[in-house]
Amino acid sequence: MMKTDPRPPDARRPLRTRDTRWAAGLARTLLRTGLRPNGVSILSVVFAVAGGACLWLVSRGELPAIPLWLGAAVLIQLRLLCNLMDGMLAVEGGLRTPDGDLYNEFPDRLSDPLLLAALGYAGGDEASHLLGWLCACGALLTAAVRLHGATLTGTHDFRGPMAKPHRMALATAACLLMAALAATGSEMRPLPWILGLMLAGIAVTLVRRLAGISRTLRARPEP
């Protein structure tokens, strides 16, 4: 039986997909298989490593690019699906463990930079390499600010415009676009612009989160 979440609502990332029928149905199916949320969290890293490998192979230029771009897009989405399911199994499925929060957070700190740095290498030029690494570092920094803010204010700030779901959506769109360009034989190289857009969004996200933490702390009554 799926249960309600006993934690404060701000402790979980607000996701509309969590309330959909297909998500609830998939969670019930996974419950019946005996799969545990911590295992799903680890599986998300496996998908991220596989997606990063596809992107790295694109940069090598030794294999057909179209299936590699499409494979990376699918694997990024599978990683996100794991991120959704581990929380649903833990909370609504009643399978939370004492170390569940560790499994919920740390795999993402591996998966985000791996995928974004690999996306930069797949661009094949120095600008993409640099922007990919900057986006990877920015992803770690946004998470660090969110977690530090939670320790100071008791509230997790998941605002964007380039939070994890937004970054992965843009990365998926970039992979699909590159697959389409490869299929048409186009010489366009939009990845530096896409990564630049992501980096700009990450910068805005950091500013918004830091400003939110500051406002919350300033609004507290003086001791």
What DSSP string runs through 137-153?
Answer: HHHHHHHHHHHHHHHHH
Percent of the chain exceeding pLDDT 70 equals 95
Task: Give 177-217 pLDDT, tens digit per residue.
Answer: 999 999 999 889 999 999 999 999 999 999 999 999 999 99
- 3-state SS, residue 25: helix
Identity of residue 156:
H
pLDDT band at 11 (very low <50, low <70, confident <90, very high): low
CA distances from 62 to 33, 106, 125, 138, 183 (A): 39, 33, 16, 30, 16
Backbone phi and psi for residue 51, each to the nearest 5 degrees, phi listed first: -65, -40
Is a pLDDT exceeding 70 seen at residue 171? yes
CA distance 137 to 122: 17
Sorted by where each starts, the structural domains of the chain and their CATH numbers stand as 16-217 (1.20.120.1760)
pLDDT at 4: 41
pTM: 0.89
pLDDT at 7: 44
Task: Give 90-144 pLDDT, tens digit per residue.
Answer: 877 778 888 888 888 899 999 999 999 999 999 989 999 999 999 999 999 999 9
CA distances from 79 to 71, 142, 220 (A): 12, 19, 38
Q: Range with the lowest mean pLDDT among 9-18, 49-58, 118-127, 205-214?
A: 9-18
CA distance 87 to 109: 16
pLDDT at 1: 39
pLDDT at 65: 95
